Amino acid sequence: MKRTFLYLILVSLSGLGNFLFAEDGSRLWLRFSDVTVNEKLFSGVSGRTDVFAASEFAHAWSQMTGDELLTQKHIADNSLIFALAKDKVVRNMRLSTEMKKLGDEGFLIRTITYQNKKLTLVAANTDAGLLYGSFHLLRMIQTNTFSDQIKVVEKPAYDLRILNHWDNLNGTVERGYAGRSIWKWDELPAKLSPRYEAYARANASIGLNATVLNNVNATPDILTTEYIQKIKALASVFRPFNIKVFISINFASPKQLGRLPDADPMRPEVQKWWKEKVKEIYRAIPDFGGFLVKANSEGLPGPMDYGRTHVDGANMIADALKPYGGLLMWRAFVYEPGDDRAKLAYKEFIGFDGKFRDNVIIQVKNGPIDFQPREPFSPLFGAMKRTPVMPELQITQEYLGHSNHLVFLAPMWEEVLKSDTFAFGKGSTVAAVTDGTFVKTKTTAIAGVANIGDDINWTGHHFAQANWYAFGRQAWSHQITSKQIAEEWTSMTFDKSQQTTKSSIVNCQLSIVEILLSSHETCVNYMMPLGLHHIFAWDHHYGPEPWCDIPGARPDWLPKYYHNASKAGIGFDRTDKGSNAVSQYFSPLREQFNNIEACPEKYLLWFHHVPWSHKMKNGRTLWDELCYRYDSGVQQVREYQKLWDKLESEIDSQRFAEVQSRLRIQARDAVWWKNAILLYFQTYSQMPIPFDIERPVHELDDLKKIKLDMKHHN
């Protein structure tokens, strides 16, 4: 393994300047021109002059200071830099033992002393590690945590840290709320948008190293020679940023493109077609990552169409990828009609444990239903002990207010990743059973469904950028806390140049962090507290519609399937006296979830059908607690409005006004949710809304008439 090093020299500079940018959110968290560097500064970079990380650091530095950061080739006569370039300092430090532990993408950052000068050393085994180390160093400068006593050693928790784009080839984005796709397929490969490089830089800055370009509901066209050339053009932009390209594929492609009679994975003609297609792709893109597959799910074709299994289908494609080092990610999001939907993915896949090729990894949504505001973790995590399993999280806010609601998702993901599965005893968390700690695999991975579009601010809502950022940071390290992520993102994202005092900067950041860290629980409270789930409006999943009834629709596509409200109570009985979904969890969780008194109240209505008069831990009845939870969600959003309005003098006018407008929408929506849910369920509970809670301001019949003019974005 070849070692490369990036060196940064600390000296004092003067005459700092700032570049001016429109405050439209387009710079994300990479707002280097807003950084004021006052004390210990860098004057040069030494090491291999062809290292991409050096040019990225130098570019960021020029934005911070207005001055050029000299490279070795510019100051070759400087004896200090010349000595560093010869690696004398590094050899004397004897870093080889530490370097071996870093792997291909880890890095170390350390303050060293040479000739009575303080130097900052970024070291890694590969150019990719140097790139991540350089961005980490920039983050330290941006967040005012840089010092002359640095000792940082990091490597990623997962091998592949992937964004899944649900972008369609016609430019639409399924479950996308930030405009159209950033991929301009009609312009590729001839024209490369500058946004492609900006996208790659943003991903690299938070440690993401792979992207799936298209929707899991894929069309065969993505595999045509025409589109392979377009993918090749994108891969060429991403490659310097250590980002591998993957695509989603349609299982029926041999039939659709190859004009074969079928796509039966056991037929030699089908196997040959896949091998030739994979060969064509790797001939064009030698470092192509592989495929993501959604099969026999929600009407998409798959091996079961031919009486075959998921193993048959996955292994056939994996065999085609194997000679090139390609990976196949096979989604476990399946729910054929029959049993409790929460049980179906486990039932479908648990019997296949150990039967997939070693370059197949099963991609599992964080919960057993579908990216709900809160779910217990999927029981497949830990259950498949001989098969690589990767978590799939949803960054785009399909079930969390789209791009209108401010909801910071890091606490939700932290809750999931740190949940103990008990699969290998205490301490075998979801993170630990997927990162290689307990289940030894060739490749570990984690995916997030992207919230990115061609809106100028990338994500529709300025605060939705924090979720893109948070996914990258948690994919790199599941030990990082939501609070640390919130503080980093806030410090890096909001312009300090308009804030005149240190105290105003601190107060501004504290208010924003406070909003971020409480926002997920707030959203759960005004949407679906206490384990309620999937009571959204039909199709677009934006507002409340617990009464929804679509003739001919599958029961498990409708809210009544999940809430089961009656005069007797509410909730889904998944105990051993109901669907027995609790049996899919390891002890002691199955016993805890099965016992209504021991079950965590945040999952109460997920696992139990509970009488309205059931006494909660705080002494309230279930009905009263529901009322108070919904009301607290409304009141908390109103507090966010107050906190944000106080920051008007501290935030640039454009972003302030745009966030303020979205908070008004969120506050109105929270009232809509509260009124709709309480008035509807009150028809079953026949109990009064507590008198100290704000009264509903709508009639239930009027709320039932609301039909939003929103497209599904297919």
Tell me the catalytic residues: 298, 370, 398
Task: Measure the CA dihedral 506/511/512/517, to 10°.
Answer: 120
Neighbours of 35 (CB within 10 A): 22
Instruction: Provide the pairing of β-strand 210-212 with 389-394.
Output: unpaired
**Distance, CA of 298 to CA of 67 (rounded, Å):** 55
Q: Which two tokens stand for residue 705?
A: 């008439």
Q: Could you give phi then psi for residue 696, rounded to 5 degrees? A: -60, 145
> Can you tell me whether residue 157 is helix, strand or coil?
coil
Please tell me the distance from the alpha carbon of residue 365 to that of residue 358, in angstroms, as a whole number.
Answer: 21
DSSP string, 123-164: EESSHHHHHHHHHHHHHHHHTT---SS-EEEE--SSSEEEEE
> Is 124 in contact with 98 (CB distance < 8 Å)?
no
Q: Are 512 and 542 in contact (CB under 8 A)?
A: no
Calpha distance 306→303 (Å, rounded): 6
Q: What is the C-alpha to C-alpha distance for residues 523 and 520, in angstroms, rounded to an integer?
A: 5
Of 336, 325, 317, residue with least CA distance to 276: 317
Amino acid 619 reads: G
CA–CA–CA angle 624, 625, 626 (5° rounding): 90
Q: Taking a C-beta distance cutoff of 8 angstroms, is the pair 82, 93 a contact?
A: no
Sequence length of the chain is 714
Cβ(552)–Cβ(502) under 8 Å? no
Distance of CA 137 to the CA centre of its chain: 23
Structure-block tokens of residue 194: 């500058």
Radius of gyration of the chain (CA): 26
